[in-house]
Structure 1
Amino acid sequence: MVKDVAIGPDGDVRVEIYLTVAGCPMRDRITSDTTSAVKQVPGVSTVSVELDVMSEQQRRDLQTKLRGNQPEREIPFAKPNSLTKVFAVASGKGGVGKSSVTVNLAAAMAAQGHKVGVVDADIYGHSVPRMLGVTDRPTKVADMIMPPSAKDVKVISVGMFTAGNAPVVWRGPMLHRALQQFLADVYWGDLDVLLMDLPPGTGDVAISVAQLLPSAEILVVTTPQLAAAEVAERAGSIASQTHQRIVGVIENMAYLTCPHCDERIEVFGSGGGQAVADGLTRSLGAKVPLLGQVPIDVDLRVGGDSGEPLVLSEPSASSSVELRRIAKELLGTGRGLAGRPLNLTPVAR
């Protein structure tokens, strides 16, 4: 980080130091510590410290040096020639059934003959292994991690590395590193689709996904309730800052079918999913469709607790039919260009 040291004939010393980023919170500490240390050198009369900022290449070189000159492993899904569709399943609030939707979409896609992987990126509230019925542990082979499979879906979760039901108490940098390892160190093989179950909101993990996988497409899950819809729209609007594409909105718990009269009972109200889709369309300036409305089904919850996704155990159930239709539609959509390099070179005229 030392850019230059200049020593004048009268003991005047100028030290130039690179900061890793312009807004480095340690800039004042670095200046005072450097001044104090240099003043202790015999013959020094005055000290001036000048700060500069590293370029992107200098930051990469520093990271490589700190890793012992070992190059950083590549994320296969971030390569320009990757054919794997990546869907980041997001929500504004917890409790809207985001993980249930993720698991059943993954199981439905695998049942349709696709190679599917799931990253349980909800580090604090990981639940995917239970919902998919994963009982095996990851296997370490040299420097790679082999993920376990269940229902023909490859899965990785931080819950596979913790003892029992122990909580995960991590801050931002550790969350980022864990997600990076899940994407780069795990051997996924040739996947058709990768689903990422994100934590609620727009915190560290959502930002890390945008940095590590800029081509990932966002799938927003909400309920019809106005309070949930407003927060879901807020969570989806992160795409305007990360330059990602929102592939659509899924309204979960849309209604309950009366077991006696077959009428629809709107337990949580109505219209929330369409309101989110319309709001995101207006704010992003691109069409965001409502992909489907998944009804309330007790068996959907039972299947999540027992590790048997409803789309497999009861494929004729109304919730299963809707989820399988959404899964088929998602895999039939073309990948957006957001976050993908176009390999274009400007030409002067």
Structure 2
Amino acid sequence: MGGDGRVYTVTSAKGGVGKSTTAANLAAMFGASDRTAVVVDADLATPSLTSHLGSSATPSIHDVLADEADVLDAVVEHAGFDVLPGTPGAAAFAGVDIARLRPAVGTLREEYDVVVVDGGPGLSHDTLLPMELADRVLLATTPDEASVDAAATTAEVADRVDASVQGCVVTKVSDRDELQAVRQGLDVPIAAAIPRDSAVPRSQTLGKPVVLAAPSAPSAKAYWNLAGRQPDVGRE
């Protein structure tokens, strides 16, 4: 393996806005486009990406950040892409040092064409570092005001740490009119609007991103639209 080592971080200060879903689907689309891809569960408190993909394993990113495992030993294979999973539970935090994420992502850059980092909610050093390590940051938000405000705050903080915010992914969209409120509250281009779709939770039950589990679903088609906006996705 080995390539340009492009790093994407999907993040927002608010939880429940589709960060993990977006990160998983982005990694799946890179993998389906002849790129070697790995998705990293950097939500250390609540590793929902790991749960969505059914990829819980030992060692995990928590062991890597506790300096108890090498990062490549913690990577597991999925369907067309790899996963660096987390370990659920408070006990996993013992000895974890988020600073170790920097060399870990550096190693992954050398091994993969694309690294997708699923950032945790909130605004702390644990969530800022994944943004700092990224070549491109994608914000995730739902159309409601609280989520948009959180995304806007995240964008401001990203600017302060010189992180490059490429756009936002609006999830759980019931009506296209909802996007106008997002545009008014968030000075970041909308990279994709993902419709509210029952195929998404069903795909998570199956442990697969929706683009693989239900490729004809409206949400999957919208994620492929996101892929078309990423310069690194697609066949040469």
Q: TM-score, normalised by structure 2?
A: 0.82
Tell me the distance in 2 between the aligned counterparts of 1:332 and 1:208.
Answer: 23
Contact 1:119 1:182 in 2 (8 A): no
Matched with 2:216 is: 316
1:88–1:198 Cα contact (<8 Å) kept: yes
2:23 maps to which residue? 102
Which runs of 5 or more residues in structure 2 are unaligned? Answer: none
Alignment of 1:29-108 (within 5 A): 83-108=4-29
Give the aligned partner of residue 41 of structure 2.
Answer: 120
CA distances 1:165-189 after superposition (whole Å, capped 9, x unpaired):
4325749x834145246425x6665
1:176 and 2:104 matched: no
> Could you list the runs of 5+ residues in structure 1 that have no partner in the other structure?
1-76, 160-164, 256-263, 279-287, 334-349
CA deviations on 1:130-164 (whole Å, 9 max, x unpaired) are 32232654599x956321110121211331xxxxx
User: Given residue 89 of structure 2, which amino acid in structure 1 is its aligned partner?
Assistant: A
Question: Structure 1 residue 148 and structure 2 residue 57: aligned?
Answer: no
Change in 2 beyond 3 A, CA 1:105/1:144: closer
- Does the CA contact (< 8 Å) of 2:5 and 2:109 recur in 1? no
> Which of 219, 222, 229 is the aligned partner of 1:329?
229
Task: Give the alignment's Cα RMSD to 1 decimal.
Answer: 3.0
Note if 1:233 corresponds to 2:152: yes
Partner of 2:90, secondary structure, is coil
Question: Relative contact order (C-alpha < 8 Å, sep 6+): which is higher?
Answer: 2
Query: Structure 1 or 2: larger helix share?
Result: 2
Residue among 182, 190, 206 paired with 1:273: 182
Give the number of equivalent residue pairs: 224
In the TM superposition, residue 303 of structure 1 has moved relative to its aligned partner by 0.9
Q: Between the two proteins, what is the percent identity of the paired residues? A: 25
2:113 equivalent to 1:192:
yes
Provide, for residues 46-66 of structure 1, a one-character-per-residue CA deviation record: whole Å limited to 9, x for no partner: xxxxxxxxxxxxxxxxxxxxx
Structure possessing the higher radius of gyration over alpha carbons? 1
Determine if contact 2:108/2:115 at 8 Å carries over to the other structure: no
> SS where residue 237 of structure 1 aligns?
helix
The Cα shift of 1:301 comes to 1.0
Partner of 1:166: 89
* TM-score, scaled to structure 1: 0.57
1:253 is displaced (CA, Å) by: 0.6
Q: Alpha carbons of 1:180 and 1:302: their partners in 2 closer, same or farther (altered >3 Å)?
A: same
Q: Give the letter aligned to residue 271 of structure 1.
A: Q
